[in-house]
Amino acid sequence: MTDDRRTPDAAEERQRELDEEVEDLTRRLAEVVSRAGPEHRQDLREYAIGLLKEETEFAETPSVETSGARRAPFNSLALGLLLGLVSLPLLLLFAPFGLVMLLLAGVMVAWGLVETLVRRRRP
């Protein structure tokens, strides 16, 4: 039972150490901002807050590295169909551009179909 009592104390001690370290860093940062001229203080404050948010958000983001897993690429079949729908009115308005868009849509649809068939055949 003594181990159960030590764990919260150790956690509290670690939290106090972290709090002290953050307070020390805050004091040092405040000294740097205070040394700046009055015209730069607000900009430095905002810059420091932005950096802090950026760094802490990056640290909170979980790592997505998984072996053998691929990120899902964009869906070229759906994009090709969308380009095909967009290209039809463009054929009436500006035929060369509409034709290029229609050809790109065809390539995207073909690519999407091949990719889908290849992906399904893989175990």
Note if the pTM is more than 0.95. Answer: no
Give dist(CA 29, CA 33) in Å, integer: 6
Nearest Cα neighbor of 35 from 44, 26, 22 is 44
Query: Given a cut of 90, is residue 105 above it in pLDDT?
Result: yes
Q: What is the mean pLDDT of residues 110-115?
A: 89
pLDDT for 70: 60
**Both tokens assigned to 1:** 């039972």
Query: Given a cut of 60, is residue 63 above it in pLDDT?
Result: no
Distances (CA, A) of 33 to 14, 47, 54, 56: 29, 10, 19, 21
Residue 122, helix vs strand vs coil:
coil
Confidence of residue 6 (pLDDT cuts 50, 70, 90): low
